[in-house]
Structure 1
Amino acid sequence: MKTLLIFPAQWYPTQPYLSTPYLTAFLQDKGWQVSQRDFNIESYDHFLSAPLLRQAENRMQESVQSLKSKNSLSIKEKSTLDVLAMGLKFSDRIIDGVEEAKSVMRTPERFFDFGAYQQADMVIKSALKLVSDAYAPAIFSLSTFESGTRAEESTRKAHETTRDVATNPFIHLYENILLPTENWEDYDVVGISIIGISQIIPGLTLARMVKEKYPHLHVTLGGPIFSVNAGQLIGHPEFYDDFCHSIVTFEGEEPMHRLLSALREGDSLHTVPNLLHLDGREVVQNKERVELRFEELPNPVFDGLPMDKYLSPYPIIPVLQSRGCYWGKCTFCTHSFVYGHRYGKQKTMAMVDELENLMKKYNTKYFTFSDEAVSPHSLNDVSEEMIERGVEIRSLALLKFEKIMDEELFSKMKKAGFIFLMFGLESANDRVLALIDKGTTKEVERDVLLKSHKAGIWNHSFLFFGFPTETRPEAQETIDFLKKHLPFLQSFWPGFFFFNPESRCL
């Protein structure tokens, strides 16, 4: 029984994602033969290449000729023609420069030359814009893939879009480039990890094509997208006809082990926890739910992933100090639901051991602590241990604003190698923060940002507008907060609130 785990496009292309490395490590520890592929970075590498960009250019030229052949054009068609003409005006320059741009991103001395980086970044973004224009209304960028038809929200539209060669660039990519690189007959099970909305169409396109082309395979899907939306797939057997044989919801390690065991022994899929599957024409959601303690999981393995292809000057390795969220109360958040409201963390010594091992294996000192939020206590202990051992890393981490975060903590973190901290600011209005149940205040947010800045650490804040009942003056208070504290607020990313199923806002 041999399994292939795949992380599909679209996700940011600077480093691996942790879903398949954790699953691979756990299943291999159980004695299963498991390989993993990162189709996300492989997709980027091919889309950002002359052959595929020339194909995009040809599609754009055909669209221009088709529009020009019409006797009259609508306002929308005129706008489309202008967009295509602008893209074609610069397409040769973009295509000729794309390999150089990737090289800049992967070469330290060139990456840190701001002029070279700026040019490379522009070329890469422009190249992806060519792909978007060629497959309009699809949008493909470093931060998203969108169908342009909201196919991500509908099983019927997903059925159509995953077959539409006119608007889905991944069909050609999989058919002609990525699928032929794998010996599919060697495998019995393929697992596809879909963690975000931007992966839905690329991931389901891959699932459909694998299921159709290689009927001997059991195709299983997993990821938070399915955990949160599992109820919406009840009553839709056609989804399984199109895309998969089963779906693993919530945490996947033990369920995948049990699924492989059931398939090998010919047992009923009803015995597998956390599983959605077909029984005849009925979609069944098995009642048993299993989550392991984080301490029971082996460290992730990145073997088989193309570490040299990520668009970073050094390998950046994601790690987890904890799984789940130590706070777990924010009313808008679904992450605690996905983790079963469980929280577990590594022991300090084991965490630093893992960092040292990864540093040696991949010859890097760059890491991302990918926790939902690393607790202040853990940050303090891990920093002290790294300082004690003389472990030199450069890392970012995600944090929650806490009153106990003081100058001493940030000084230790800076010395330990934390250079970039990302905070969930959300709002700078105390009433809205209380509604969110954020467990902090505007004053604490200000103090923490100031202290991290004084320690020499770059801070970044995420925020959103439009939380239910937020008023215009309350939103303006957040804007004024950002303006006032720009001297020690290095960067921020505003967004708009939207409801998620299973959030406590509903």
Structure 2
Amino acid sequence: MADDNAAQPGKDNADTPAARERRTDAVLLKMPNHNMDYPHLAVPTLTAALRKNFFKVKQQDVNVLLRDFLLTEEMLKDLAYRFLPELAKAHIDIPADFDRIRNALVYLHYIDNQIGFARVEQVKQKLQARKYEEVFCDEQESSLASLIFVLTGMLHIVIDLALTYDEAGGEIDNPVTNFLHQKVREVAALNPRVVGFSVIQIQRKATLWFARRLKPLIQGKIAVGGPDASTFKEEYLKNNDCIDYAFLKEAETTFLELLRGKPVEQLDGVVFRDAEGNIQVNEPRHDIQLSIFRPDFDGYDLDKFLLPTLPLSTSRGCAFAKCTFCNHYKTYSGYYSNDAVKTVDIIELLAKRYNTRFFHFVDDMLEVKEGTAIAEELIRRDLDVNILTYARFEPQFTDEKILELWHKAGIRVIEWGLESASQEVLKKMIKGVSIRQVQNILDISSQKGIVNKLMLFHNYPGETVDQLKMTVDFLRKNVLEKKVRPFFTVRGRLELRLFTPLEITSRDYSKSPFRKRYERSSSFDSLLGYADEDDYPRKVEYIESFINEMSQYLNENKIFSTNDENMSLDLLILDLKRRGLETAVAVQ
């Protein structure tokens, strides 16, 4: 008897060219909210695994298409003068949401009055057309480009509120959900066997909105995967009849076996409903030899992204995996890396196929030995590339030859995970680094020509005002000495995330480092609240004073502000300068 939970083999699933023409095997989607600078990696990686086995796959980044649609003169006017004013009236009794809408309106009206939405759309189109010299070598154009990245950040709020309002039965004509309804119809018309969503937390709302409206229109199954699904497992199915499967951790093998018709109860790493409707969880058992590292961006609307960067994974998991505040261990089966030669093969292929020289290694960290092997292979092939990567302050970096080699290979920007410049706080975090070692590495790295960025946050349990000042003063010193690029994540307050060692410890009141912990409002929340210490207002005051000081420094030195909306823009500006062009903005 055929398993109703399996993606039915039948005639439509037969591995024949005729069958492939009749039906789409899988539609893979990335939903809002996410950035617009360059594509996410998960969907193209799964697409590559399925296409490698001759399945017919349609992939689409709905997030970037929606943002491109909203960042037009027509739609910006609609947001500023119709939709958001009406939405504000509907939220008059919800102060927090009303303030968010009002702030967005003030900003939109300012832009329209000072610049005009038509000019905003023109510069957006120049970025999409890769006319970067025209934009970033002109002071006015580069200022407009900076505004666009601010606007893309503002759209997170607009999209989120538009979805919430629609789910609550709102009657205002809604440009966000109108666009998404059209996408629902387009996906349904493909008659897919499986629709898959890769989900991080900020995409959950849009994913579930889309799945609820798609489910009645298709006969196929709907699946979620990614970090959010791996964290919440059965929660995705408990209250969402529209979700048939949740894939856990690495899903390329599991998804492939599902399409081949293997009964779902025999799959590893999947949450499903059995014949009686009971939710079952098959824990993942991933064979790392079957891992796919080469993404396939064919069919993605790469021309809608604002920057030419492509993401690439050289490893999965974290080679250190001890930090008390981190739960990245929930995403993958463990730490493992791709062969350096194969990684460079992928870089070379992507560079030629998609006409780019810009890459972001999105690994949790690029381990020293692995990164050096990649650098040596890039140099051997004489590839002209620009790479942004994350790294940990490993002691091996004190060998000057390593970072010199990395820079020569094209690794131009490193985002270092530091978190705090207090040695005592670092010890509590189990970071395994010393501040003296960190400073030594920053000295070497900047001397070799690499742009350094520090990822920091404040308010780790027990952190005093003086310890926070150590962090801020350390950052200020290195920024002013041009050893660190201005990048102010220190304004971020510690997030107590589910399943981190810190969160697990805090469950026991007698061991909790927090004066008070607030439980989640639902089983679908990944963040927990906690009570700040009495000195917290002084911390905020000190950070705000520092940010104001640094804002003036940025303006005086024409340094563009960098954040999650444009994190790889550094690579582009550095490349323009390396080619002898005079840019209107600087990196540091």
Residue in structure 1 matching 2:79, options 56, 59, 68: 56
The answer to whether structure 1 residue 211 and structure 2 residue 229 are counterparts is no
Inter-CA distance 286–183: structure 2 relative to 1 (3 Å threshold): closer
Inter-CA distance 183–89: structure 2 relative to 1 (3 Å threshold): same
Deviation of 1:185 after TM superposition, in Å, equals: 3.7
Size of the aligned set, in residue pairs, is: 470
State the partner residue of 2:256: 257
The answer to whether structure 1 residue 359 and structure 2 residue 367 are counterparts is no
d(CA) in 2 for partners of 1:428, 1:198: 29
Deviation of 1:391 after TM superposition, in Å, equals: 1.2
Residue in structure 1 matching 2:367, options 372, 375, 380: 375
Inter-CA distance 500–77: structure 2 relative to 1 (3 Å threshold): closer
Whether the 8 Å CA contact 1:321–1:345 is kept in 2: the answer is yes
Query: Partner letter of residue 256 of structure 1?
Result: F
Residue in structure 1 matching 2:180, options 154, 160, 174: 174
State the partner residue of 1:154: none
Inter-CA distance 114–161: structure 2 relative to 1 (3 Å threshold): farther
Residue in structure 1 matching 2:38, options 15, 19, 32: 15
Which string of whole-angstrom CA distances, capped at 9 and with x for unpartnered residues, describes residues 89-135 of structure 1?
A: 65475422232121232312123225212213215634874xx6xxx
Query: Partner letter of residue 226 of structure 1?
Result: A
Query: Partner letter of residue 54 of structure 2?
Result: G
Deviation of 1:337 after TM superposition, in Å, equals: 2.4
Deviation of 1:181 after TM superposition, in Å, equals: 4.5
Whether the 8 Å CA contact 1:162–1:171 is kept in 2: the answer is no
d(CA) in 2 for partners of 1:5, 1:111: 33
d(CA) in 1 for partners of 2:449, 2:267: 49
Inter-CA distance 444–237: structure 2 relative to 1 (3 Å threshold): same
Inter-CA distance 168–200: structure 2 relative to 1 (3 Å threshold): farther
1:222-237 correspondence runs (5 A): 222-230=225-233, 232-233=235-236, 237=238
1:291-310 correspondence runs (5 A): 291-293=286-288, 296-297=291-292, 299-310=294-305
d(CA) in 2 for partners of 1:257, 1:337: 22
Inter-CA distance 334–163: structure 2 relative to 1 (3 Å threshold): farther
d(CA) in 1 for partners of 2:88, 2:295: 51
State the partner residue of 2:133: 109
State the partner residue of 2:436: 443
Structure 1 window deviating more from structure 2 (283-292 vs 388-397): it is 283-292
Deviation of 1:261 after TM superposition, in Å, equals: 3.2
d(CA) in 1 for partners of 2:312, 2:96: 50
SS of residue matched to 1:497: coil
d(CA) in 2 for partners of 1:489, 1:456: 11
Any gaps of 5 or more consecutive residues in structure 1? 133-137, 152-157
Which string of whole-angstrom CA distances, capped at 9 and with x for unpartnered residues, describes residues 352-376 of structure 1?
A: 1211111111122111111110111
Query: Partner letter of residue 150 of structure 2?
Result: K
Query: Partner letter of residue 350 of structure 1?
Result: K
1:466-477 correspondence runs (5 A): 466-477=459-470
Inter-CA distance 175–456: structure 2 relative to 1 (3 Å threshold): same
* Identity value in percent: 25
Inter-CA distance 260–86: structure 2 relative to 1 (3 Å threshold): closer
User: Over the residues paired in the alignment, what is the CA RMSD in angstroms?
Assistant: 3.2
State the partner residue of 1:3: 26
The answer to whether structure 1 residue 275 and structure 2 residue 295 are counterparts is no
Inter-CA distance 165–415: structure 2 relative to 1 (3 Å threshold): farther
State the partner residue of 1:139: 157
Which string of whole-angstrom CA distances, capped at 9 and with x for unpartnered residues, describes residues 197-249 of structure 1?
A: 3212222222222223x23121111110121122645xx6332x2x4222112
Deviation of 1:272 after TM superposition, in Å, equals: 2.3
Any gaps of 5 or more consecutive residues in structure 2? 1-12, 14-24, 505-588
Whether the 8 Å CA contact 2:288–2:336 is kept in 1: the answer is yes
Inter-CA distance 453–285: structure 2 relative to 1 (3 Å threshold): farther
Q: TM-score, normalised by structure 1?
A: 0.84
Deviation of 1:260 after TM superposition, in Å, equals: 2.3
Inter-CA distance 413–427: structure 2 relative to 1 (3 Å threshold): same
